[in-house]
Amino acid sequence: MIKQSTGKAWLLATCLWVLPMTAAWAADVGHYVLGDTRAKTPGKVEPGLLLMGGGDRNFEAMRWFMQKAGNGHIVVLRASQAGEIGEEFFNEVGGIQSVETFVFKDRDAASDKTILAALKRADGIFIAGGDQSRYVRYWRGTPVGAALDAHVRAGKPLGGTSAGLAMQGEYLYGAMDGGSQTSPRALADPLGDGNTIETDFLKIALLKGVITDTHFSERSRLGRLIAFVAKGEVMAGHPLIGLGVDEDAAVAVEGDGIARVYATAPGAGAIIVRGGFAEKQVEDEAMNLARIDTVTAGVGSVLHLPSGRVDKPLAERRYAVRDGVLVALDTPMLVIHGGAGVEPGDLTEAEEVAARAALEAALRAGHAKLKAGASSVDAVQAAIVVLEDAPQFNAGRGAVFTHDGRNELDTSLMDGASGKAGAAAGLHRVKNPITLARAIMDKSRHVMMVGDGAEAFAKTQDVALVDPKYFYTEKRWRALQKALAEERATQASNTSQVLPGKAYFGTVGALALDGKGHLAAGTSTGGMTNKRYGRVGDSPIIGAGTWADDRCAVSGTGWGEFYIRAAAAHEICARVRLSGDPLARSADRVINRDIPKAGGDGGAIALGADGSVAFPFNTGGMYRGWIGADGVPHVAIYKTDTLAMPPR
């Protein structure tokens, strides 16, 4: 049955089963009703808070909320869109008697007696997502704000998602400037106007001294939550804690403050930022903090609010902020690739086993350095040496052949802490090119050397040189003969040879984050099969195939000409620094959007100073892997392979 009402007559419709409808009445509010608002509440109404991170509906968590509401009557408040969330609650979550949704368009409606009456009789109230600045402007200091506090004091459940969660802490990010703050901007000036921290909204005892945030890991919001806590502490005059909830998680808080996490994706949870920061921040200056402790509550954890204590935490992390850059401490990480372009069917079973073993060996070699307290540069070099020695990859021992039947090797290495770099191209006798890149970086005034001159310098630095025959492998030689035959065939038919993108693939790379929070990146390659004229790709070019700075490191693998034109490795890190985009989004947009749009393809690995990682690629596979503090290597080859991601 559908009933359209005007004025106060909308009350007559609330006892009917109706489809969503908008009613024109005294206040300018959209009103939508589903179910029988006069039906008896079947269960016992109990206190509780549901803090949802803002992603797809977590039905298990929502059913917990409905049960807390006695499976009775839910009122949804929002300041945009319409009654969609009410439809979902009633039709998909189910098990409740009615849902009323009110969509506010201004502050005046916050005093309307009919809305206040609906809030008073509600068994549960849920604040939907949207523009949280509207909630502050429309509800703070109004009867609606008072009604929400009264609802909680009466022992009834309150829930919220995204902006609806953000509003529930004692201190909150109001987004009052009309934007959405990013971590880099927030840390660049934690006491600045962009961090619009508000208070005196809701007064919920279980969230006293708490600042909440949502869409957490997916949008890399740890940095901004740390900045919010810092500014909130200045306002409060005492320590606070931050509570960030992942997009795929929800925190269900019982009336006694004991909370558990419901998650719809592996590893999703809630992160507690311990406040009480020792260093005082200065307005208009970037944040500097020597230590920030965080703890992650997962599905097996128990979170206690408002203290923030976590039993059985999913993870505990320590961070610092250096001139506005968030840095993970005592959480070493190594990320590697062995080249994009490998496709299902390219490898025999034995070759696949050997490749995976070589990836794991490289990870263990780099991890051993990190575990011993060595620098990120040392770890990158150690990992790449193993990959250069493995004939499974197009670097060092497994390098492809040029048109003239030679092996030409290129490499680069960059230290993110110092900004120093070393690179070499056109090598024929250097056993491990990455060691020469290290020598150029550390022992010369130059960044790049090429050919005979580079090898002459290598000799002065005791870098191992070998007979060029060392690089011969039968598989690579056969690949050259095949390429030459195809070239002759096209010449005989007077047609142009068009090389597939795959012909340009084959590179190894490594990135490391050491215990001091410093990054490094390195890349090494044998170039492309049947190349001529001393062609050089992106691998030895700083900014194209390799980049590391104080917040981001990248190593690329793909069609080098396009990586050079896009300055791909640097571009990824520049987007992280300048736009505030999460590392994974920046890497994906460069590798899987910009480069294919220009005509190229390939992949990359990326590692952030905060410990975030990304493995974007647009081919059928990319040799890849990572290893963390626990020393367990994780590797994958094909796109269809599942690669567990590091916990955050």
Is residue 124 situated within a structural domain? yes
The confidence score (pLDDT) of residue 375 equals 98
- According to the annotation, is 214 in a ligand binding site? no
Same domain (yes/no): 91, 198: yes
Same domain (yes/no): 271, 163: yes
Is residue 600 situated within a structural domain? no
The confidence score (pLDDT) of residue 16 equals 36
Same domain (yes/no): 211, 305: yes
The confidence score (pLDDT) of residue 499 equals 56
Is residue 574 situated within a structural domain? no
Is residue 398 situated within a structural domain? yes
Query: What are φ and ψ of residue 249, in 5° steps?
Result: -135, 160
The mean pLDDT value for 243-264 works out to 96
Using CB atoms within 10 Å of the CB of residue 456, give its burial: 0 to 12 exposed, 13 to 18 middle, 19+ buried: exposed
Same domain (yes/no): 59, 143: yes
Using a pLDDT cut of 90, give the percent of the chain over it: 80
- According to the annotation, is 477 in a ligand binding site? no
Choose one of 298, 329, 360: the last residue of a domain.
329
- According to the annotation, is 560 in a ligand binding site? yes
- According to the annotation, is 537 in a ligand binding site? yes
Using a pLDDT cut of 70, give the percent of the chain over it: 94
Rounded Cα–Cα distance for residues 192 and 186 (Å) = 8
For residue 564, name the pLDDT band (cuts at 50, 70, 90): very high
The CATH number of whichever domain residue 138 belongs to comes to: 3.40.50.880
Rounded Cα–Cα distance for residues 611 and 329 (Å) = 9
- According to the annotation, is 212 in a ligand binding site? no
Q: 214: which 2 tokens?
A: 């949502």
Residue with the bigger pLDDT between 4 and 531: it is 531
Choose one of 329, 348, 371: the last residue of a domain.
329
Q: 390: which 2 tokens?
A: 């493995």
Query: What would the pLDDT profile of 508-559 be if each residue is shown by its tens digit?
Result: 999 999 999 999 999 999 988 888 888 999 999 999 999 999 999 999 999 9
The mean pLDDT value for 560-570 works out to 96
Is residue 313 situated within a structural domain? yes
The confidence score (pLDDT) of residue 175 equals 86
Same domain (yes/no): 190, 76: yes
Query: What would the pLDDT profile of 348-383 be if each residue is shown by its tens digit?
Result: 999 999 999 999 999 999 999 999 999 999 999 999
Mean pLDDT of the chain: 91
Residue 228 has pLDDT above 60, yes or no: yes
The confidence score (pLDDT) of residue 487 equals 78
Is residue 237 situated within a structural domain? yes
The mean pLDDT value for 587-599 works out to 96
The mean pLDDT value for 227-249 works out to 96
Is residue 510 situated within a structural domain? yes
The confidence score (pLDDT) of residue 4 equals 29
How close are the terminal C-alpha atoms of the chain, in Å?
49
Q: Which domain holds residue 190?
A: 31-329
The confidence score (pLDDT) of residue 502 equals 56
Residue with tokens 């497994």: 398
SS3 category, 115? helix
Q: E strands along 55-97, which residues?
A: 73-78
Same domain (yes/no): 190, 273: yes
- According to the annotation, is 64 in a ligand binding site? no
Query: What would the pLDDT profile of 278-327 be if each residue is shown by its tens digit?
Result: 999 999 999 999 999 999 999 999 999 999 999 999 999 999 999 999 99
SS3 category, 461? coil
User: Would strands 258-263 and 302-304 be described as parallel, antiparallel, or unpaired?
Assistant: antiparallel
- According to the annotation, is 557 in a ligand binding site? yes
pTM: predicted TM-score of the whole model, two decimal places: 0.88
DSSP characters over 396-454: GGG----TTS---EEEEEEETTT--EEEEEEESSBS-HHHHHHHHHHHSS-SEEEHHHH
* 302 contact partners, CB below 8 Å, separation of at least 6: 258, 259, 260, 310, 311, 312
CA atoms in the 13 A half-sphere facing the CB of 300: 6
Q: Is 507 a catalytic residue?
A: yes
Same domain (yes/no): 374, 516: yes
Cis before 239 (ω within 30):
no
Could you tell me how many residues make up the chain? 648
Is residue 512 situated within a structural domain? yes
The confidence score (pLDDT) of residue 493 equals 72
Query: What are φ and ψ of residue 408, in 5° steps?
Result: -120, 120
Among 101, 214, 435, 507, the active-site one is 507
Same domain (yes/no): 275, 362: no
Residue with tokens 């429309």: 138
156 has which bridge partners? none
User: Would strands 325-329 and 507-513 be described as parallel, antiparallel, or unpaired?
Assistant: unpaired
Same domain (yes/no): 217, 299: yes
Same domain (yes/no): 321, 376: no
Same domain (yes/no): 449, 483: yes
SS3 category, 573? helix
Residue 7 has pLDDT above 60, yes or no: no
User: Would strands 124-127 and 73-78 be described as parallel, antiparallel, or unpaired?
Assistant: parallel
Same domain (yes/no): 322, 339: no
Q: Give the chain's domain count.
A: 2
Residue 12 has pLDDT above 60, yes or no: no
DSSP characters over 355-386: HHHHHHHHHHHHHHHHHTT--HHHHHHHHHHH
The confidence score (pLDDT) of residue 19 equals 39
**Minimal CA–CA distance to 479: which of 557, 536, 537, 407?**
407
For residue 579, name the pLDDT band (cuts at 50, 70, 90): confident
Choose one of 329, 347, 374: the last residue of a domain.
329
- According to the annotation, is 419 in a ligand binding site? no
Q: Which amino acid is at 267?
A: G
Backbone region of residue 373 per phi and psi (left: phi > 0; alpha: psi in -120 to 50; beta: other values):
left
CB 348 within 8 A of CB 637: no
SS3 category, 547? strand
The confidence score (pLDDT) of residue 457 equals 98
Residue 500 has pLDDT above 70, yes or no: no
Rounded Cα–Cα distance for residues 641 and 204 (Å) = 46
